[in-house]
Structure 1
Amino acid sequence: MADLLTQAAYTAFQLGKSNFALAHKNAANQVRKFINPSSQPPIQPLSPNILQLIQQKYQQLLETDWQDAQSGIYPPDLLFDNPWEDFLPTYAAIWQDMPQVWDRALQKNYQDFPPDIDTEGYPKYYLQNFHHQTDGYLSDKSAALYDLQVELLFNGMGDAMRRRVLAPLKQGLTEAFPPKPLRILDVASGTGRTLKFIRAALPQASLFGIDLSPAYLRKATRLLSEIPGELPQLVQGNAEEMPYRDNYFHGITSVFMFHELPAPVRMQVIAECFRVLQPGGVFVICDSIQVIDSPELQVMMENFSTMFHEPYYQNYINDNLVERLEKAGFEQITNQSHFVSKYWIARKPKSGADL
C-alpha cells in the first residue's frame, strides 16, 4: 500500500511539473506574439499521431524511473529531488530574461557576450548563445537559470532523463570490477546534477567532473557541497584534452553535451574518454534522440533546431556515434531511448592481463 501511495505521489509530482512547463510555454508564446508577432519561429505542427507517441514515451519514462528506484538502482527519494527549491526567484528571472532572448533570436545574434564576460581561451565552437541563452554558458546568471530552463524545456522530465544513465553505469561497473573504491568522471558536468544523482546511486565512489564553464562549476560546487560524503573533484578544462592520466576512471558519463559539439570535436572527446577509461570500464552517453532510430519524430527534431540556436544539432541527429565509438576502440556498444533522449553504453576492451 505504501508503495502505491508513493508511486501516486511521484506521478502527481511529475505531472505537476509537466503541466506547469506546458503552461509556461503557452504563456511565453502568447506574450511573444503580443510583443512582436514577427519574432515567432516558423515551426511545423505536430500531428496527432506524433503527440500520442510523445505521450506514450512520457508515460514509459515515468514507469522506468519508478521501477529503477524500486529495484535499488537509486534511492526512491531521488524521484522527488527537485531543482525548484528556489523556484520563485529563478522563475521570475527567466521571465525578466525572455525579452533579451527573443530579441537575440530575432536578430540572429548568436555570439552576444557583454564586455565583462571573459571569452579568452575558449574554443570558438563553445562561444555561442546556445538556445539564445544570455551570456552563453559563461556567467553566474546563466548558471543560476540553467536547471529550471532544462526542466521547462523537457516538460519537467529533464532529471528523469538524466537518471537513465545510472542503471547502465551501475550495472557496467558491477560486472567489470570487484567491490572497491571506484572513480567516475562526468564530462561536461555543468551545474552538477548528474554527479548528484551518481552520488546517490554509488555513495562510496570517488566522483570527478570536468567542464569549460567556471560559472557552472561554481554552481555545481554549491550544490554538491550540500551532500554528505566525499566532495567530487571538479576541474575547469576542455574534454578534448583532459588533465587525467591514461586508464584512470572505472566509469564515465556525459549528459546533453554531444549535440553541442562539431563532428570532429565529438570524435576527439570520445577518443579522450577512451584514453582515460580503464580497460573494462563503461562509458554512458545521454543526449538527444536521432533521426537514425526515431524517424517518426524528425519533425520535432527539426522544430528544435529552428526554435533554438543549436548550430551542430542538424549534423548530430544524423551522426553515427556507434561508428565513432568503435573507431575510438570501444566495444559491446548498445543503445537505449527514453522519451526524447538517447543513450549509448560502451565498454573499453579488457587488456590481455585482465582476461
Structure 2
Amino acid sequence: MDTLATWSRRAAYAARQGARVGWFAAHGELAQAITKRVARRHGSAGSKAPRRRPIGPTPDQRRLFAQIADLFRRDLANVEAGHYPLPSGEFGSPAAFLDLSRRFLADVPKVARRRATGAHQEVFEATRDEPAGLPRYYRQNFHFQTDGWLSRDSARIYDFQVEVLFKGATAAMRRQALVPLSQLLRQKDQRRVAYADIACGTGGLLAPALTAFPRLAGVGVDLSHPYLQHARTTLSRRARARASFVTAPAEALPFADDSLDVASCVYLFHELPPKVRRQVAAEFARVLKPGGLLIFADSLQEGDLPENDGLLHLFPALFHEPYYEGYLTDDLDGMFARAGLRLREMTPAFLTRVAVYEKV
C-alpha cells in the first residue's frame, strides 16, 4: 500500500509539474512573438534595448529543461522527506488562473514597448512630486514591468510573470528555502520561533512557510504596500491568523536588536545597489539573535553553476536590472561575514542559490 501511495504521489507530481512547464513555456512563446511585433513597430534602428553576446557558456533548451527536471526531482524528494507538503496551485481556481493569463498577455505589449524604447523611469516620473518615503533606487520599472512594485495590478500578475520567465520553475526554486527552515523547526517549538520574511513581496515564501509549518507565526516586511495587501489575500484563513505585515525597507528593519530566530529573503539582493546590500546585511546581523539564521535565496552568481554563467550575464540586457551585473560578482559571503553572519551552506537550485548564514 505504501508503495502504491508513493507511486501515485510521484505520478501526480510529475503530471502537475509537466503541465505547469508546458503552460508557462507556451506563454513565454506567445510573449516573445508579441515582443518581436512591438519591436518591429518601433523599428530596430531606434531601439534602445541593449544587445550583447553571451559572456561564458549558455545552456541550450535541452539542457535548460534537464536542469528544471533536476530541480523538480529535488522538490519531490523534499516532499517525501517531510520538509513541506506536496505543492498545490498557488494561483487559485481555474477561472482565476485563466484571468491571470489574460492579464499577463494584455500587459506584454506594454512591457515590450518599454524594452524597445528603453523606458524604465515611468514610476519615478509618476512619484516625483509625492512625499519622500520610497528610496530612489526602488522607484523604477524593474523588469520593465507596468507600475514597478507600486500597484495592485502589478502585484496581481507578478508571480505569473516570473513563472513565465523561468518556465514554471520559480515556485520550486523558492521552496528550496523551506528546507533549512524545516530543519531548524524540527529542533524547536514552532510557536516560540520569531520569524520574518524580508522583502516578502506577494508572499511567495511566507505563504508556503505558514502552510508547511502550522504553528509558526511570521512577519512579512516589504516596501510596497500594494504587494503586502496582495500577500495577505494569498494566505489561507488559518495562515492569515498567524501572519502580520509591515511596510518598511530592508535597510531599516522594524525589529529590536537580537530579536529574531530566523529571517529569510528571496530575490532581494540582486535588486539592490551595492551600498544598500551592505546596509541590509548589517540589519540582518543586528536583528538576529546570536545563533540565529538567515535563509537567503537569490539569483545564482558567476561560478555557482559555470554552465549557466552566460545566461546570467544576458539577463540584465534583456530586462531592466540595473544592479544585477554587479551582484553577479559581489562577494556576498565576505559581505555577510563582515556583518557578523557566517556561511553554513550554499546549494544551487536551477538558477537560484540557497544559502544559510548564522549569526556568530
Check whether TM > 0.5.
yes
Q: Kindly state the Cα deviation for residue 142 of structure 1 after the two structures are TM-superposed.
A: 0.4
Per-residue Cα deviation, 1:153-211 (whole angstroms, up to 9, x for no partner): 11111111111011112213445x56651111100011112111111222212211100
Conserved in 1, the CA contact under 8 Å of 2:211 and 2:239? no
Is the 1:247–1:276 contact (alpha carbons within 8 Å) kept by the matching residues of 2? yes
Deviation larger for 226-235 or 1-10:
226-235
CA offset at residue 97 of structure 1? 1.4
Amino acid of the structure 1 residue aligned with 2:199: A
1:39-188 correspondence to structure 2 within 5 Å:
42=51, 44=53, 50-76=60-86, 79-83=87-91, 85=93, 86-113=96-123, 115=126, 120-175=132-187, 177=188, 181-188=192-199
Greater shift, 313-322 or 47-56, is seen at 47-56
For residues 232 and 190 of structure 1, the distance between their equivalents in structure 2, rounded to whole angstroms, comes to 14
Q: Provide the secondary structure at the position in 2 that maps to 1:36.
A: helix
Aligned equivalents of 1:35 and 1:229: distance in 2?
A: 41
Which sections of structure 2, spanning at least 5 residues, go unmatched? none
Q: Identify the range of structure 1 (93-102 vs 246-255) with the bigger mean alpha-carbon deviation.
A: 93-102
- SS of the residue 2:265 aligns to: strand
SS at match of 2:176: helix
Task: Point out where structure 1 has 5 or more consecutive residues left out of the alignment.
Answer: 350-355
The one-letter amino acid of 1:73's match is H
Is 2:20 the counterpart of 1:17? yes
Give the counterpart of 1:189 among 200, 205, 221. Answer: 200
Q: 1:41 to 1:20 in 2, by over 3 A?
A: farther
Matched ranges for 1:212-251 at <5 A: 212-224=223-235, 226-228=237-239, 230-251=241-262
Q: Residue 163 and residue 342 in structure 1: after superposition, are their counterparts in 2 closer, same or farther (change >3 A)?
A: same
Q: Distance in 2 between matches of 1:161 and 1:224?
A: 20
Contact 1:18–1:157 (CA under 8 A) maintained in structure 2? yes
Measured in 2, the distance between the counterparts of 1:293 and 1:228 equals 35
Cα 1:171/1:213, change in 2 over 3 Å? same
* Alpha carbons 2:301, 2:327 under 8 Å: kept: yes
Residues 214 and 239, structure 2, Cα contact 8 Å, conserved in 1: no
Q: Deviations over 1:106-159 (max 9, x none)?
A: 221111137489574111111110110011000111011111111111111111
SS in 1 for 2:304: coil
Deviations 1:25-51 (A, max 9, x none): 212222332343326864658988544
Matched residues in 2 for 1:47 and 1:251: separation?
36
Q: Note the 1:190-209 alignment, pairs <5 A.
A: 190-209=201-220
Q: TM-score normalized by structure 1?
A: 0.91
Going from structure 1 to structure 2, the CA distance change for 1:73 and 1:341 (only over 3 Å counts) comes to same
How many angstroms apart in 2 are the aligned matches of 1:126 and 1:258? Answer: 12
Paired positions, count: 346
Whole-angstrom distance in 1 between the partners of 2:189 and 2:98: 45
CA RMSD of aligned residues (A): 2.2
Identity %: 34
| CA distance in 2 between partners of 1:120 and 1:332 (Å) | 36
Partners in 1 of 2:127 and 2:326 — Cα distance?
32
Instruction: After TM superposition, give the deviation of residue 285 of structure 1 in Å.
Output: 0.6
Whether the 8 Å contact between 1:173 and 1:281 is mirrored in structure 2 is no
Deviation at 1:224, TM superposition (A): 2.1
Q: Give the Cα–Cα distance (whole angstroms) in 1 for the partners of residues 240 and 254 of structure 2.
A: 24
Query: Is contact 1:288–1:341 with CA below 8 Å preserved after alignment?
Result: yes
Q: Secondary structure at the match of 1:34?
A: helix
